[in-house]
Amino acid sequence: MNAVDDLRAEHEGILRMLGIMRVMAERIGHGRKIPAGHVESVIDFLRLFADQCHHGKEEDIFFPELERAGIPHEGGPIGVMLYEHTLGREHIRAMVEASARLGDIGGEGYQDLRAAMLDYSGLLTRHIAKENEVLFPLAEKVLSPGAIEALHERFEQLERERIGSGVHEAFHRLLDELAAEYRA
């Protein structure tokens, strides 16, 4: 597996979680509570896997390598991706704040959680499409196969340092458990 394949594979897991979140938001919209533990698990996944691990690989390793290969930061796809990562973090913060105020299903906590989940899901779905359809093919044109392969080793090291060994696999088990509950 090379670095671009690694990022694409991680996108599949993130998209799966976004589907779970949409089902959760739909249930909230129909007046059904979501167990607090499920909300915490979603937020942990987004913070650790999607942001610290996946976005960390992009921001700290992949994007700088693309810049060195001539892809501009400003006015180009890298700047857009970084801006959207920032927006995503704001939506995660909104989910954290709303989850601290969960109570009655008709209350503001659940409604704010629902809105933040839908906003994040929409943003990341579009974001992933841009990376998969525009940025990754561009990277495969400007980076040599050897360079892409070497980035994969750096990705593995970042993952070990940021989230630890076995956590990636644990998040995939979490996705399976939540998908069974939320049919995503």
DSSP structural state of residue 183: T
SS3 of 65-130? HHHHCCCCCCCCHHHHHHHHHHHHHHHHHHHHHHHCCCCCCCCHHHHHHHHHHHHHHHHHHHHHHH
**Domain tally for the chain?**
1
CATH number of domain containing 149 = 1.20.120.520
- What residue numbers bound the domain in which 74 lies? 3-182
58-80 pLDDT tens trace:
999 999 999 999 998 888 899 99
105-133 pLDDT tens trace:
777 889 999 999 999 999 999 999 999 99
Query: Which pTM value belongs to this model?
Result: 0.94
